[in-house]
Chain A
Amino acid sequence: MDGGRALIRALENEGVEVMFGLPGGAILPVYDPIIDSSIRHILVRHEQGAGHMAEGYAHATGRPGVAMVTSGPAATNIVTPLCDAYMDSVPMVVITGQVPTGAIGTDAFQECDTTGITQSITKHNFLVTEAQDIPRTIKEAFHIATTGRPGPVLVDIPKDIVDPGNPRSAMTWTDDVTIDLPGYNPQTEVDPEAIRAAAELIRASERPVLYVGGGILKARAADALRELAELTGISVVTTLMARGAFPDGHDLCLGMPGMHGNFTAVTAMQESDLLIALGARFDDRVTGRLDGFAPDAKIVHAEIDPAEIGKVRRPDVAIQGDVRLAIEALVAELATNGTGDVDRDAWRSRLSGWQERFPLAYEQWVPGDPLKPQYVIECLRDSTPDDTIVASGVGQHQMWASQYWKFDHPYTWINSGGLGTMGFSIPAAIGAKVAFPDRMVWAVDGDGCFQMTAQELVTATVENIPIKVALLNNSYLGMVRQWQEMFYEERYSEVFLSKDVPDYKMWAESMGCVGIRVDDPEEVESAIAKANEIDDRPVVIDFRVDAAEKVYPMVPSGATNSELVVPPFQQDQPR
C-alpha cells in the first residue's frame, strides 16, 4: 500500500464520516483515494472555513472534527481555527500537506514551517517522515485530540511519503498499530480525599455558587451537573462556553457571568463564600480585575488539566481529573453523608431580589426607532424548535445571542470564546448542520463578521447544507464602537463599515441563498417564519438594527465585577 491510501484508511478506521478541506499541490496524492472513500469531503472556499467547520462539527457532536488542506498558505490559513480550537479545547485533527522530505528547509514552493508555526497553538503536532508511520501517527493524533483536555492536533505530511509514484510512499498496511506516547497519560480518576474535602466546604457554605465552564460539555457531564445542583439546591452560573450545560429554564439557573453577564450571575459570584468551579478556568472575561474577584469565596476547582489548577486563582480544594467523575463522586458523597444543614434562605432571597431588580433588559422600541437587535434574538428564540443549534460570531451580536437565547439543551450553543474569532459563525454553523442535517441551525452574525467568512455560504449552497443566517447589521464594528463610545469619549475611529455596501440580500442571492432584508420590527416575525420554512438552500436575513444599542450589563476593562455597569434605566435600583 502507499502512504496516501493508508492515510485515508486510517481516518476511516477512526470513524471519520466527514472532513472539510481544499486540495493543493502537496496534498494532491491524498485527494485521489478520497474519491473511493466512505468519508464525505466538503470542499470549502477558504481553508479557515474548513477549520471552523471542523470545530462546529466537534462542538455539536463531541466527536473530533477533521480538516485537510495543502501546505504553505493553506496551512497558514488554518492557523486561526487551530488557535481557536486550542483556546476552547475543541477536539480537532488537521492534516496538512508538506513539501517532499528532501525539499524541507530549502524554501521550496509553498513550503512553510507548519509544525513550528502551530507548536504553541496545538495540543500537539507531528511531522511524519516515513510512510510506515502514518497509521500510528493518525491513531495518536485522534487519541491526543479526544482524551484528557481535548484540543487540536495537526499532522503534517510530506508529499513524497503519500505519492504512489515515489518509492518512499511504499508501506505495509497492518490493522495492528499501537500508540507510543510515553509522555502522555492524562489522569481522569479523582482523589476521594479531595472529594470529601470539597463536600465539607459545600456543607459549610452559606452562599455557594456552581461556576460551570465549557469543560462540563467536553466531559459530557450535563446530567451529572443537574443532579448535583438539584441535590444541593445550589445555583448555577453557566459561562459563555457552557451555555446550555444547565437549562436556562431551571429555577437554579442564574445564567451567564462575566464581562457581559447578567447582574445576578456576576454578583452572586462576587458575593459568594464558595465557588465550586467545574471545568472552568477563571478566564479574565469572567473574573474581571483579579484582585477584586469574589473576595470572600473559598474555591473548589474540579478540572482535567492540572496546569489550570492554581494558574489564576489558588483553590482551597483541587479536584484534578475528569469533571464528570468528579461531579458523580461529589453527588455520591453528598447523598451518602448529607448535604449539610446550613440555612441558605437569606442567600436565596438576595439572589431572587437581584433577579427582580436587575433582569436582562433593553429599552423597548418606540415608533420611529430603528429595530432593536435584542428583539430580533428574542423573536428568533421564540420561533425556532427547542433543539435548534445557534452558532455565533464575535462581538455585540454574540453577547446578545448568549444573553437573550434560552438554552435548555447542551450542545445547542457554538461560539468562539477564548480566541474571539470574528467570522466564526457561518462555517461553524455549516459544520454543525453537516453533523445534524435534520435539526435547524441558525448562525447569528454581525456585519463585520459576515464579511470575513461569508464565502462559505457558497460551500453551503453547493454542498446542500441549508443553514440560516440572522445578520444583525448595524453598519459598524459594534463592540469596538461601544468601547469607543464608553471609554474613548465617543471618538469613533475606523469602526463605521458602510450603510449601503455590500447589499447583503444581493450578495446572499449571488451565493445561491435566499436573501431577505428587514428594517421594520413588524417584519421580523414573518421573515423568520419564511426562513424557517426554507430547507433546500441557505437563507440570510439582513436585519438592519440600531447602531446605538449597547451590550449591558458591562464590567469595564480593568474594573472589578462589583463595578458592573447596568443599563441606564436600572441605575437607580438599590444593589
Chain B
Amino acid sequence: MNTQAPDYRYHTLVVTVENKSGVLARVASLFARRAFNIESLAVAPTDDELFSRITVVVDLESAPLDQIVKQLDKLVNVVEIRELYPGHAVERELMLVTVSAEPDRRDEIVEHLDRAGGKVLSVGTDRMMLSLVGLPARVDEFEDLLRPYGIVELQRTGRVALATLDDHDGPGR
C-alpha cells in the first residue's frame, strides 16, 4: 500500500468488495465506528458478478488516510483498495435536476446546459428536467448556475472514478 501522506483534505478510494449481502453495511459501519468521515460514496457491480466496486471520497480531517485504508483492508470482504490521486484518475459524477423554467427563461437555461455539456431530459409547463455528467467540480459550478432559477429537485450520484489508462500499475495495492 502506498502510504504517502497527501496534503489535500479529500481523497478518493476505489474499493473492490465481494458482492455479498451486507458488505456495504460493513463498510458504512466501519466508517461510523471509527469516526471516519465520508464525503461521498457510490456503489455498483463490476463486470465480474463476484465483485462490486465502492468509490468513496474520504475526509482526511477525521483520520489519516493510512489508518482508514488499513482498517478498511481488515474487512474480510474487502478484496482490493486503490487510492486515486488527482491527476491519476478519471472522475465523473451524474446530476439529475428539475429546475423552474417559465417559457421565457428556457433558452437561457439551455444555453448554460449546452456549454456545460448536459442534456434536457424532459420539459413541462413551468419546469425542465436536466442531466449533467462531468467532473464533480464542474457539476458543482453548474448547480450554482441553476440555483437562481429555482431548483425544484436535485439528485447527485457522488463521484465514481477509475485510474487513468497509463496509471494502472500506479498507486494501489
Taking Cβ atoms with an 8 Å cutoff, the residues of A that contact B are 115-116, 119-120, 123-124, 127, 144, 181-184, 305-307, 309-311
- What sequence of 0s and 1s flags, for each residue 8-46 of chain B, a beta carbon within 8 Å of any chain A beta carbon? 000000000110011001100110010000000000000
CB of B26, distance to nearest CB on chain A (Å): 6
B71 adjacent to chain A (CB < 8 Å): yes
State whether A120 touches B22 (Cβ < 8 A): no
State whether A184 touches B25 (Cβ < 8 A): no
B22: chain A residues at CB < 8 Å are 115-116, 119, 127
Enumerate 30 A-B pairs (CB-CB under 8 Å) in ascending A order: A115-B22, A116-B22, A116-B25, A119-B25, A119-B26, A119-B29, A120-B29, A120-B33, A124-B76, A127-B21, A144-B76, A181-B76, A182-B79, A183-B17, A183-B18, A183-B75, A183-B76, A183-B78, A183-B79, A183-B80, A184-B76, A305-B74, A306-B70, A307-B67, A307-B70, A307-B71, A307-B74, A309-B70, A310-B66, A311-B67
Q: How far is the CA of A144 from the CA of B75 in the complex (A)?
A: 11
B157 adjacent to chain A (CB < 8 Å): no
B73: chain A residues at CB < 8 Å are 306-307
B71: chain A residues at CB < 8 Å are 307
B1: chain A residues at CB < 8 Å are 306
CB of B13, distance to nearest CB on chain A (Å): 15
Q: How large is the interface on B (under 10, 10 to 19, 20 to 34, 35 or more residues)?
A: 20 to 34
For the A-B complex, the count of residue pairs with Cβ-Cβ distances under 8 Å equals: 41
Q: A144-B76, A184-B76 are in contact. Are A310 and B67 (CB under 8 A)?
A: yes
Q: How far is the CA of A32 from the CA of B123 in the complex (A)?
A: 67
Taking Cβ atoms with an 8 Å cutoff, the residues of B that contact A are 1, 17-18, 21-22, 25-26, 29-30, 33, 64, 66-67, 70-71, 73-80
Which residue from chain B places its CB closest to the CB of A120 in the assembled complex?
B33
Other A-B contacts than A119-B29, A307-B70, 7 sampled, CB-CB below 8 A, are A116-B22, A119-B26, A120-B29, A120-B30, A127-B22, A144-B76, A307-B67
A115: chain B residues at CB < 8 Å are 22
CB of A496, distance to nearest CB on chain B (Å): 36
B21: chain A residues at CB < 8 Å are 127
Q: How far is the CA of A33 from the CA of B66 in the complex (A)?
A: 48
Q: How far is the CA of A433 from the CA of B22 in the complex (A)?
A: 38
B74: chain A residues at CB < 8 Å are 305, 307
A124: chain B residues at CB < 8 Å are 76
CB of A405, distance to nearest CB on chain B (Å): 34
Which residue from chain A places its CB closest to the CB of B70 in the assembled complex?
A307
Which residue from chain A places its CB closest to the CB of B72 in the assembled complex?
A307
